[in-house]
Structure 1
Amino acid sequence: MQASGLAAPALSAVQERLAGLAGFSESEVLRNRLLRAAPLLSRLPLDRASIDHPDWAALLDAVTVQETRMFRAAPQIAAFRAEVLPALAARGALTLVSAGCATGEEAWTLAILAAGAGVPWQVEGLDLCRPALEAALAARYRLGPPDALREVPQADRAMLDIADGWFEPAENLRPHVAFRRANLLDACLPDEAADAILCRNVLIYMTEEGRLAVLRRLVAALRPGGALLLGPTDRPTRDIGLRPWSRDLIGIWRREGADG
């Protein structure tokens, strides 16, 4: 089978390198994105795969899934705000992380939540895709359609500047939010640095080995008693140092330890 001059074995070799680089699992989604990026594949040095190599970086930009929106999975966000964030804020200043932040909407969601917690705070967004990170930093988004603010509570819209078919976070949020290119398979955060990490719909695109490696790194990055927000299909193994935050909170996990 040929795809824009690229033979199927070469496609498999690229998929294998992507699994090693970023934990991407073979899937129809990845294959279709690779086929669309065929002009990039023809010049990839298979023996020098690196997220910092310009050709591999361009491919990662092309194949990384960037589905996100403000207050995505609103029930989980509401539960985090009501039941988890006050307990974290009671310990002092907050550090919140969006791991796999895409174009930044979930990082800015965390910023809106943190701004109401009554303590000093900072948010960091991490992603591999350079164009997505540029969009996250610019933080100027189209209203839709579909309605980009459909899950944002009315009261929280006061933290957004909305006009002429666009919205952006209020200016007072921006100094507290930073974005950084990072591979979640690497040690991208210091140990015990974060009070809460949001990592939703990232692990579903990864190999089993990649998922476990990323989960272990995220747990290590949490302070004892910190919270990890995962997608509904992301089930940590029992030996990873997490337990459910409570019986009623789906997808919110607490790091075990002295404060947990």
Structure 2
Amino acid sequence: MTLAALAALLEARTGQRIAANRAWRIDTALKPIAAERGAGSIDELMAVVRDGSDTALADRIVDALLNQETSFFRDAGAIEAAAEAITAVATGTPRIWCAGCSTGQEPLSLAMALRERDVVHELVATDVSALAISRARSGRYSQFEIQRGLPIRRMLRWFEQDGSDWVAQQELVRRIIWRRSNLVLDPPPAGGFDGIFCRNVLFYLAPDLRPRVLDAIARSLRPGGLLMLGAGETVIGQSSRFAPSKRFRGLYELTDGGGSA
């Protein structure tokens, strides 16, 4: 019953489902919260949520259950190619939206790739987790996080060491608009984007929600703009508004005129 209640809470708040292969994470994610609250078990913790007396607790539980797996330059070749492609199709300053940005490594990677090409850009990064957005906005990462995918050359150029952490230069962080936003429940950022990254997000959403999210993305992408999904994701069977780009491998283009949201 507790697993069902947790799954229902997560899906209602975020549209995400707890996959069978992620169920093991529940104890790991929630036991520290239970201990902090003096609850003897996760069942006791959920009893507090069910009686509605602590909405902040429900937020913390949802945050803990979200999959925030990310790293710098994840699929590095794809990031570099996307930076080139979006710059090529933009008619002015490239406008880019990173949806489901987690703790910020993806938009920061893209910002580094663009800045190294001397491309002035506008980048909006959103995530359903307020905690993840707060961390992303700080630009602070542990030694473990900084070593995941970030070449030493870029680490030394764009980050400064502060104790055991590394902090991104404000030149990068402040040029990104960080915003908490729910892909399923909230309106997307103002449209007209040249590129939208929505990588490894659709995979976790309930299947019936994916077409709705893709439609919102289509309305936010300007004609000629490009969409990038995760390597294991596709629009096939989920949206007729996108097709694989004939010009840029691994990216999608609108099949219709699109339009701003």
TM-score by length of 1: 0.80
Q: Secondary structure at the match of 2:174?
A: helix
CA contact (8 A) 1:199 1:228 kept: yes
The AA in structure 2 aligned to 1:72 is R
Q: State the alpha-carbon separation in 2 of the partners of residues 157 and 230 from structure 1.
A: 29
Aligned 8 A contact 2:71 2:145 in 1: no
Q: Which residue of 2 aligns with 1:139?
A: 139
Tell me the SS of whatever aligns to 2:232. Answer: coil
C-alpha distance in 1, partners of 2:155/2:86?
16
Describe how 1:207-222 pairs up with structure 2 within 5 A.
Answer: 207-222=206-221
Question: Residue 23 of structure 2 is aligned with which of 23, 31, 42?
Answer: 31
Helix, strand or coil at the partner of 2:147: coil
Q: Provide the C-alpha distance between the structure 1 equivalents of 2:145 and 2:180, rounded to a whole number of angstroms.
A: 29
1:62 corresponds in structure 2 to 64
| Amino acid in structure 1 at the alignment position of 2:99 | A
Give the drift of 1:170.
2.5
SS at match of 1:240: coil
Q: Is the 8 A contact 1:191 1:222 kept in 2?
A: no
- How many angstroms apart in 2 are the aligned matches of 1:119 and 1:166? 28
Question: After superposition, what is the alpha-carbon deviation per residue over 1:213-256, rounded to whole angstroms, capped at 9, x for unaligned?
Answer: 22222222211221111111211036431121237612x11223
Question: What is the count of residue pairs matched by the alignment?
Answer: 244
Letter matched to residue 57 of structure 1: D
Match of 2:78 among 65, 76, 79: 76
Q: Is the 8 A contact 2:96 2:195 kept in 1?
A: yes
Gaps of 5+ in 2: 31-41
The residue matched to 2:68 in structure 1 has which SS? coil
1:100 CA displacement: 0.9
Aligned residue in 1 for 2:108: 108
Partner of 1:175: 174
Match of 2:87 in 1: 86
Instruction: Give the whole-Å Cα distance in 1 for the aligned partners of 2:116 and 2:142.
Output: 25
Identity percentage of aligned residues:
25
CA distance in 2, matches of 1:53, 1:243: 41
Question: Is the 2:196–2:226 contact (alpha carbons within 8 Å) kept by the matching residues of 1?
Answer: yes
Gaps of 5+ in 1: 1-8
Cα separation, partners in 2 of 1:105 and 1:28, compared to 1, 3 Å: same
Report if aligned partners of 1:30, 1:63 keep a CA contact under 8 Å in 2.
no
Q: What is residue 41 of structure 1 aligned with on the other side?
A: 46
Residue 125 of structure 1 and its aligned partner are, at CA, apart by 1.4
Deviation per residue, 1:148-173 (Å, 9 max, x gap): 2x354846853333576543332322
For residues 125-166 of structure 1, give each alpha carbon's deviation from its aligned partner in whole angstroms, at most 9, with x where no partner exists.
111222221210111112328832x35484685333357654
TM-score normalised by the chain length of structure 2: 0.80
Quick check: 1:125–1:180 contact (8 Å CA) kept in 2?
A: yes
Amino acid of the residue matched to residue 32 of structure 1? W
Question: CA offset at residue 54 of structure 1?
Answer: 2.1
RMSD, aligned CA: 3.0
Map of 1:6 onto structure 2 = none
